[in-house]
Amino acid sequence: MQKETHKLLFLESNRDTFDFIKSGVKTVETRAGSPDYIKIKMGDTVELSCGSDKFTKTVKKVSVFKTLDDLLEVYSPEEINPETLSSEEVIKLYYSFPNYRDRIEKYGMLAFELE
């Protein structure tokens, strides 16, 4: 099976998350599903970029969750975002992103464990 490279883009307003992943503080990246994201498989490489800064990580595990509650049964709020303290904060954060509610309903919530 051929390994692929996928791009994960971060807005400058999310540089803190980008930096947490780069430093290894955050090892789980979550995204609402989309036709592009559901193609990412274990062993693939992800190229993360924020502005002109880029680095790569290997996908160690991919999990798909039907709901945010299902996601939060497996991953703690701190694993998802080191700056959050509660599940309620995480859910509020996700629903603040454009179209996340619809994308989660259609494709699920993806969690990528990175190394």
Domain ranges (residues) in the chain: 5-114
The pLDDT tens digits of the residues spanning 82-102 come to: 988 899 999 999 999 999 999
What's 115's DSSP letter? -
CB 30 within 8 A of CB 53: no
The pLDDT tens digits of the residues spanning 55-87 come to: 999 999 999 999 999 999 999 999 998 988 899
Return the sign of the alpha-carbon dihedral for residues 6, 78, 14, 53.
negative
CATH: 3.40.50.2300, 2.30.130.30, 3.30.9.80, 3.90.1170.50. Which one for 5-114? 2.30.130.30
Angle at CA 53, nearest 5°, toward 64 and 39? 25
The pLDDT tens digits of the residues spanning 16-33 come to: 999 999 999 999 999 999
Predicted local confidence at residue 2, as pLDDT:
75
The candidate with the shortest Cα–Cα distance to 93, out of 4, 13, 7, is 13
